[in-house]
């Protein structure tokens, strides 16, 4: 399971309607000879293809590794309290810009114990207050050894659509796809206080392939 590659389309299914609409717009505007409008639609189509890409990734061999749930840049590493469990924790926040892969994968294997959606604002996801003020969705997983890890999808300035497929009682494998956020956002991972943190502020993460901590 540590190095399993999970099968899924190269293009995330969340983007299929958008890509289909953009392609139709390109074809119709081209047939109508609309010039610059056709070019703009084509540029958007190319952007949408790169945004909704969802490449398969191979997880590290190390069974202790907690993998990055997304592509992006580490913007916060701090000791805190897990807001879903009340336990002492270390938070690792990863910010995604519009050029990162936005498909979210489970950082550990375990059973989904809790899923909590919280409505909120849409301030810049790179800001600290985004974790507590923005719209967000938290998934808490209990691992086989009883330890709990929470990973929270946080909406951003442009991101207005959080998608989460995880359900209570579901068994998630490490690296398994569980959600998506459209157009810029962040994911906060709350790890046990004794976790060995590998990721540092400013590090660039590759979803599933990069290790953020070891347990």
The secondary structure of 2-62 as a DSSP string is TTPPPP--SB-GGGHHHHHHHHHHHHHHHHTT-THHHHHHHHHHHHHHHHTB----PPPS-
- The yes-or-no answer on residue 29 being catalytic is no
pLDDT tops 50 at residue 115: yes
Q: How far apart are CA 107 and CA 190, in angstroms?
A: 11
Distance, CA of 22 to CA of 111 (rounded, Å): 38
What pLDDT is recorded for position 184?
62
Catalytic residue among 103, 106, 131, 185: 185
**What are the start and end residues of each CATH 2.70.70 domain in the chain?**
65-214
Distance, in Å, from the CA atom of 125 to the CA atom of 211, rounded to the nearest integer, reads 22
Q: What is the pTM of this model?
A: 0.81
Of the pLDDT bands very low, low, confident and very high (cuts 50, 70, 90), residue 92 is very high
**CATH classification code of 65-214:** 2.70.70
Res. 17: pLDDT tops 90: no
Instruction: Supply 72's token pair.
Output: 């992006």
**pLDDT band at 56, cuts 50/70/90?**
confident
pLDDT tens-digit readout, 181-199:
876 688 999 999 999 999 9
| Nearest in space to 117 (alpha carbons), one of 189, 166, 80 | 166
CA angle 180, 57, 152 (to 5 degrees): 35
Find the radius of gyration of the CA atoms of the chain. Answer: 18
β 72-81/136-142 pair status:
unpaired
């Amino acid at each position: 399971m540590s190095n399993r590659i999970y099968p899924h389309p190269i293009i995330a299914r969340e983007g299929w309607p958008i890509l289909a609409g953009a392609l139709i717009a390109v074809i119709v505007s081209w047939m109508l000879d609309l010039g610059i409008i056709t070019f703009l639609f084509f540029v958007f189509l190319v952007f949408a293809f790169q945004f909704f890409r969802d490449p398969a990734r191979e997880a590290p061999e190390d069974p202790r590794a907690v993998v990055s749930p997304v592509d992006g840049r580490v913007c916060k590493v701090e000791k805190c309290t897990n807001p879903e469990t009340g336990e002492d924790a270390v938070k690792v926040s990863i910010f995604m810009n519009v050029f990162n892969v936005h498909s979210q994968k489970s950082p550990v294997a375990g059973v989904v114990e809790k899923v909590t959606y919280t409505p909120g604002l849409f301030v810049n996801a790179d800001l600290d207050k985004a974790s507590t003020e923005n719209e967000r969705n938290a998934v808490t997983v209990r691992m086989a050894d009883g330890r709990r890890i929470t990973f929270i999808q946080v909406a951003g300035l442009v991101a207005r659509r959080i998608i989460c497929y995880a359900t209570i009682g579901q068994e998630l494998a490490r690296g398994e796809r569980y959600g998506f956020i459209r157009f810029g956002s962040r994911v906060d991972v709350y790890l046990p206080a004794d976790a060995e943190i590998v990721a540092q502020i400013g590090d660039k993460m590759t979803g599933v392939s990069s290790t953020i901590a070891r347990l």
